[in-house]
Amino acid sequence: MNHTDKISVGIVGASGYGGVQLVKLLLEHPGVEINYLGGDSSAGKQYTSLYPHLTNRVDLNIEAIDLDVIADRCQIVFLGLPNGLACQMTPTLIEKGCQVLDLSADYRFSDLETYTAWYKTERQDQAIAVKAVYGLPELYRDKIKQSQLIGCPGCYPTASLLALSPLLKQGLIAPETAIIDAKSGTSGGGRQGKINLLLAEADSSLGAYGVANHRHTPEIEQICSELARQEVRVQFTPHLIPMPRGILATVYATLRDPGLVREDLITIFSAFYRSSPFVNILPSGVYPQTKWACGTNICYIGIEVDPRTSRVIVMSAIDNLIKGQAGQAVQCLNLMMGWEETTGLPQLGFYP
Amino acid sequence: MNHTDKISVGIVGASGYGGVQLVKLLLEHPGVEINYLGGDSSAGKQYTSLYPHLTNRVDLNIEAIDLDVIADRCQIVFLGLPNGLACQMTPTLIEKGCQVLDLSADYRFSDLETYTAWYKTERQDQAIAVKAVYGLPELYRDKIKQSQLIGCPGCYPTASLLALSPLLKQGLIAPETAIIDAKSGTSGGGRQGKINLLLAEADSSLGAYGVANHRHTPEIEQICSELARQEVRVQFTPHLIPMPRGILATVYATLRDPGLVREDLITIFSAFYRSSPFVNILPSGVYPQTKWACGTNICYIGIEVDPRTSRVIVMSAIDNLIKGQAGQAVQCLNLMMGWEETTGLPQLGFYP
Amino acid sequence: MNHTDKISVGIVGASGYGGVQLVKLLLEHPGVEINYLGGDSSAGKQYTSLYPHLTNRVDLNIEAIDLDVIADRCQIVFLGLPNGLACQMTPTLIEKGCQVLDLSADYRFSDLETYTAWYKTERQDQAIAVKAVYGLPELYRDKIKQSQLIGCPGCYPTASLLALSPLLKQGLIAPETAIIDAKSGTSGGGRQGKINLLLAEADSSLGAYGVANHRHTPEIEQICSELARQEVRVQFTPHLIPMPRGILATVYATLRDPGLVREDLITIFSAFYRSSPFVNILPSGVYPQTKWACGTNICYIGIEVDPRTSRVIVMSAIDNLIKGQAGQAVQCLNLMMGWEETTGLPQLGFYP
Amino acid sequence: MNHTDKISVGIVGASGYGGVQLVKLLLEHPGVEINYLGGDSSAGKQYTSLYPHLTNRVDLNIEAIDLDVIADRCQIVFLGLPNGLACQMTPTLIEKGCQVLDLSADYRFSDLETYTAWYKTERQDQAIAVKAVYGLPELYRDKIKQSQLIGCPGCYPTASLLALSPLLKQGLIAPETAIIDAKSGTSGGGRQGKINLLLAEADSSLGAYGVANHRHTPEIEQICSELARQEVRVQFTPHLIPMPRGILATVYATLRDPGLVREDLITIFSAFYRSSPFVNILPSGVYPQTKWACGTNICYIGIEVDPRTSRVIVMSAIDNLIKGQAGQAVQCLNLMMGWEETTGLPQLGFYP
């Protein structure tokens, strides 16, 4: 790549946390140039009025969302909008020749009935939707390379699926025993003024939410079912943790072969992710801390087996806004463009 | 007191953080019974729908604000409303025979022009306002005992004035050198969904706000001027700290007599607050932590002298929602009712 | 009770977090007087040098541990020592007529072989150990009333067992499916300078520890087995959460009768805990936040059923240092003395 | 630079927080290769056993400190040791031809008597010490370029001096009025198991320490005096803030010319730092948040003037471990090597 070859990218919905991660990552990415930041409620504002830490670094305004303008100016479009909006814009953008990476739930489901059942939105864009690829590179690397439309995974599904995939793909667990107890920092709730996300309320506290009915459940189940080649139902329980970023998924499942030991599984996981530069399988007895992953696109995975109960416990830690959102989208972009998968993506966090 | 003698109290503006502290303190107070909780936006809701931790403990609904109903049902009314509303309700409540403790800024100023200049609200209730007493018991205990209307101090002024009062009253410092660098937990911003108060934004961060123009400045100056018997201007800078509760005021001033040492000042402060059960003067070399004060009505004060610069540094720590708000109001209530000043008020925090 | 009847109590191991909670609770308890604070490493120090927030409130020194002195001065002795020490002191104290409440693991096991297997300590005090009662009042209220020696439960077992007991006792779940995903604030690690408990390391982070081998596992299993009248093995995974206090246990189990709905279970739990003033069963759709429990002796329990998976999910929240430790010990003391079970115990937290 | 030209660097004292920042920055720096990590207490251990997040990324062991080995293997040596050790090693390293960047206080003082008075360590290395340059590039860029020995500034002095320098250099303030109220995250206390740095103690709390006698005071005063061309005494008060990283210095001083307004000072500061890529002067009315600086080598500066008091208030925010420590050392290295000052240094933080 050289500077004259930089690809022109735009971000629709740049004012949220996903948007500002994309801005940071794309500013430092050698292959792209940001030429459009869009948003409705904040149209007309300087981007630095929303994010003053970018003062003297970003000189872009938020513009109104106009698909003609976007398509005219950008080859790549990231959509970071509330669920139900991307599916209205994407057909036009695709038609005009853009490549689209959608960070909402709109293009994550191969079965739009599932989408409609859980998201209460009727869909008119079946023709486009069937072409979307689920943007989890560790599972769908080759398809992503060929795709024009990526449905980027949710943050919880990313952590959950990276923990479960080798187990399900290799048939090592009884799928119906899978329980995902997930814990997320509060930035997952978005940049909106909700009472329960206030520091005064959320700090020094902890609780579950969306028990037995969180929307990430069908997304996880879709991919699990594909991997297991049978319909899989998982138990998924998210919790809000008093920290800004990071997700830990603690995944429980019963082993089909109770003779498997921890080291066997570490070997299997390591082999499964051999070509995945952003999955770091930890050695025996080391369990991941979310802080290790924060500020990086890495998923850390620790594995334990309990011979008393014949269960495997897999713990996976990611930065919910990077590997769980914007970083993964850039990872997909790298694949789509034929660039090194790691281009422009942080692999080493600051600690502590 | 016996149960049949319980005083009937009401809280207008019960849905905020000041309100819920009052509810907790008054539920455990032996002399009162809560008979009214009022609020506009949440009228009709069960109180526990706002604060589910009170489930099975509080069985009251939020009612619309109707002054007749309130006066009919309550002898004591706490007003916990945004600035500019108490001054519209109080004249009626007083006329109907209620005693009023206002937690807003409306009755803190003896000079209503100062109020109007800083709060941009014209006032029609001069006749009532002149009778209000500034509810800082450590300075105005006797007046509070006689009063029907208390303007409860702001949280920052409480911490600042308890640190400055002995120095100014005894003429120990050059008043114009006083600098108050104050730090507050985020609950001081109220129970409202502001972006800058989100855990994702406020946690792991720190910044100043309202520099050189925070509204608590004239409130502090009014009392300082009275104590110093001259017009005093202070430098007051508040900071937002990543924690739910607590205020620390670090107060700097130049000593008039550079020969004073730390122990002298500890003696002077201890004498000044001898009859004040809620001020705890720390021994030599001990500086307060806000956590010590949290969950109590105590103000911890630590004192240092820098002989190199002839400055005194006073650090005062309070719980912004208790001694800085609801607890202080109950302390005033105790004085108004002729009860022990400490009745129903926590003096010992949990630690850590 | 009147003041002349106050019971004399002592705390051995008063310098830790459990110790200082006991000091706070017992200072405010109407029935007792603290006459001894003991510790080895800190013997000779003023208690306030360890906990300066108690300045001007506590005037006691830490004394060396001398069983004769303790027995001479105290009727009730709380032991808050590392595991393996209480079992050396208790026989003497009991013999001298003291009543002992031990906060370590030493007297939690009816089967000392289990204790020795997990705690690597041989025991010589079988004769005394068999008389110990497991100090969970919600299950063993009557035995506690009669006992001279209480083995107070661990913090995790308290939260876990209060969530599981109604299910196991009534035979509602398949016991071997029970998974406890527990989350604790860092004060559970004690007042010791461990790197992983530093704010710089533990804040903004989250991780599991002791996976498949935490010592609270056999303690939980002992009581579960008794309730289920069969040997039960549970999966127990603790996590360290970036907050000072509080535990949430998220408990999963498969229902034997898939027809049971959430409301059925709420009814069953409410009945089970009808006489337990410190268990608060939340209404349908409300899940507990640990912050609600902090500063109280309450256990909040929320219940969900997932008809898709036939699992029940029970969430229980406690303050790990109060209901999980010192408060529960005082609750046991109240029962032993024939006092109201709630005497001197906080039931209402500050919020936020 | 190309790979064959990579400069060989070593870090003595790599196990602390400064060390691990250096490791991260130098791993990603295009001009260097880490060939030695040294430490005494952890000698022989794998570096990843101390910092498991570096698993599969760093394959180095901590080695014992042997000056011959170090000098043999490394052209550049970073010393991250407790105060008083660098001055014993540096003469040998310099003699052997190494260039040394010391992160301790040992080479920060031009007057070793001041060092000995505050650090209680006699010095035998005057000949070397006089050649040391104070490693604050914004003030001493040219000297650093020529130097073989850098005394890297303390974290508080960095934040304080960047706020004060333009004011003192231009004679805009009365130097004796300067008060620095500084606030730091707890990582400034180092990776050691101190009780007051535990999350359980430090979280949700705030307090001052080292009031009137912190060792960074003479370091700040030395540079201030040089800038003001007169002896300057400052008031410096550090506070511990419940967050892992970040420093905010709130600096107060009385303006000599009360007619100066905020915009004047913004212009003056912007000019002063025109050639300093790591100082970001904020526009009118914007005050820095420490979080903006975290993960970067940037110092954000906000400026306010209070016409009521004729004071200027300057707020400067840095990451204490990067611009306050390891990043600044790398910035000095870049200058010493003749590389771009910004090489390998992060300029854009993740937010939130």
Which of A195, A197, A201 is the closest to B200 by Cβ? A197
**How close, in Å, is residue B318 to chain A by CA atoms?**
16
Chain B hits for D239, CB-CB cut-off 8 Å, are 183, 248, 250
E-strand ranges in chain D read 7-12, 32-38, 76-79, 99-102, 133-134, 149-151, 179-184, 207-208, 235-240, 247-254, 279-281, 299-306, 311-318
* D241 pLDDT more than 70: yes
pLDDT of A4 higher than 80 = no
Kindly indicate the confidence band of residue B1, based on its pLDDT and cuts at 50, 70 and 90: very low
Q: Percent of chain D beyond pLDDT 90?
A: 98
Nearest Cα to A323, choosing from C181, D350, B203?
D350
- Shortest distance, CA A260 to any CA of chain C (angstroms): 15
pLDDT band of C188, cuts 50, 70, 90: very high
B189-224 pLDDT, tens digit per residue, is 999 999 999 999 999 999 999 999 999 999 999 999
Q: Which of B181, B246, B291 faces D181 most closely, judged by CB atoms?
A: B181
Choosing from D74, D155, D294, D332, the catalytic residue is D155
Q: How far is CA C22 from CA B350, C105, C344, in A?
A: 10, 17, 11
Tokens of B304: 């240092």
- pLDDT over 70 at B2, yes or no: no
Mean residue pLDDT of chain C comes to 97
Length of chain A: 352
Length of chain B, in residues: 352
Beta carbons within 10 angstroms of residue B272's beta carbon: 19
Averaged pLDDT score across all residues of chain B? 97
Give whole-number Cα distances, C101 to C40, C136, C152, in Å.
Answer: 19, 12, 7
Give me the helices (H) in B196-275, please.
199-202, 216-228, 262-272
Cα separation of B99 and B76, whole Å? 5
pLDDT band at C219 (very low <50, low <70, confident <90, very high): very high
Nearest alpha-carbon partner for B88 in B67, B111, B74: B67
Element holding A220 (H helix, E strand): helix A216-228
Q: Are A169 and A308 in contact (CB under 8 A)?
A: no
**Does residue D312 contact residue D172 with C-beta atoms inside 8 Å?**
yes
Class in CATH terms, C155-320: alpha beta
Q: Which residues in A lie closer than 8 A to residue C315 (C-beta atoms)?
A: 207-208, 211
pLDDT digits (tens, 9 = 90+) for C297-320: 999 999 999 999 999 999 999 999
pLDDT band at C40; cut points 50, 70, 90: confident
Model pLDDT, residue B4: 60
What pLDDT sits at residue D40? 87
Q: Which position has the token pair 């003429």?
A: B171
pLDDT reported for residue C4? 61
Taking CB atoms and an 8 Å cutoff, what residues of chain B touch C300? 53
Determine the residue of chain A that is closest to C195 in CA distance. Answer: A352
Tokens of residue A26, six digits? 């794309």
Residues of chain A with CATH 3.30.360.10: 155-323
Average pLDDT over residues B252-268: 97
The proportion of chain B whose per-residue pLDDT surpasses 70, expressed as a percent, equals 99
The sheet with strand D133-134 has its strands ordered as: D32-38, D7-12, D76-79, D99-102, D149-151, D133-134
Find out whether A1 and A31 touch, Cβ atoms under 8 Å. Answer: yes
- pLDDT of A268 > 80? The answer is yes
pLDDT at residue C2 tops 90: no
Chains with 3 or more CB pairs under 8 A to chain C: A, B, D
Task: Please list every residue in chain A whose beta carbon sits closer than 8 Å to the beta carbon of residue C237.
Answer: 250, 252, 313
- The secondary structure element, H or E, covering residue A192 is none
Give the pair of three-digit tokens for residue A213. Answer: 């009915």
**pLDDT over threshold 60, residue C202:** yes
Distance CA A129, CA B242 (A): 43
Residue identified by tokens 């455990």 is B28
The arrangement of secondary structure in A155-323, i.e. its CATH architecture, is 2-Layer Sandwich (3.30)
Question: Å from B238 to nearest chain C CA?
Answer: 21
pLDDT at A166 over 70: yes
Q: Taking CA atoms, what residue in B is nearest to D315?
A: B208
- Tell me the backbone φ, ψ of residue A182, rounded to 5 degrees: -110, 145
pLDDT band, residue D4 (cuts 50/70/90): low
Select from C199, C243, C244 the Cβ nearest to the Cβ of D186: C199
Are B202 and A199 within 8 A, CB to CB?
yes
For A17, which of D55, D282, D352 is closest by C-beta distance?
Answer: D352
Catalytic amino acids of A? 155
Amino acid at D157: P
Packing angle of the helix pair A327-337, A137-146 (nearest 10 deg): 40
Interface contact A200-B244, CB threshold 8 A: yes
Strand A149-151 vs strand A207-208: parallel, antiparallel, or unpaired?
Answer: unpaired
Decide if A200 and B185 are in contact by the 8 Å CB cutoff: yes
pLDDT at A1 over 50: no
Query: What's the whole-number average pLDDT of chain A?
Result: 97
Whole-number pLDDT of residue D195: 97
From C288's Cα to the closest Cα of chain D, the distance in A is 21
Strand partners, B208: B239
Give the span between the Cα atoms of C332 and C103, in whole angstroms.
11
Q: Can you give the length of chain D in residues? A: 352
The CATH 3.30.360.10 portion of chain D extends over 155-321
H helices within C173-214, ranges in order? Answer: 199-202
Tell me where in chain D the CATH 3.40.50.720 domain(s) lie.
Answer: 3-131
Q: How far apart are CA D184 and CA B206, in angstroms?
A: 9
Residues of C known to be catalytic: 155
Tens digit of pLDDT for each residue in B113-157? 999 999 999 999 999 999 999 999 999 999 999 999 999 999 999
Radius of gyration of chain A (CA): 20
CATH number for the domain whose boundaries are D155-321: 3.30.360.10
Contact D224, D168 (CB under 8 A): yes
- Looking at chain C, the domain(s) classified CATH 3.30.360.10 span 155-320
CATH superfamily of C3-131: NAD(P)-binding Rossmann-like Domain (3.40.50.720)
Cβ-contact C246, C299 below 8 angstroms: no
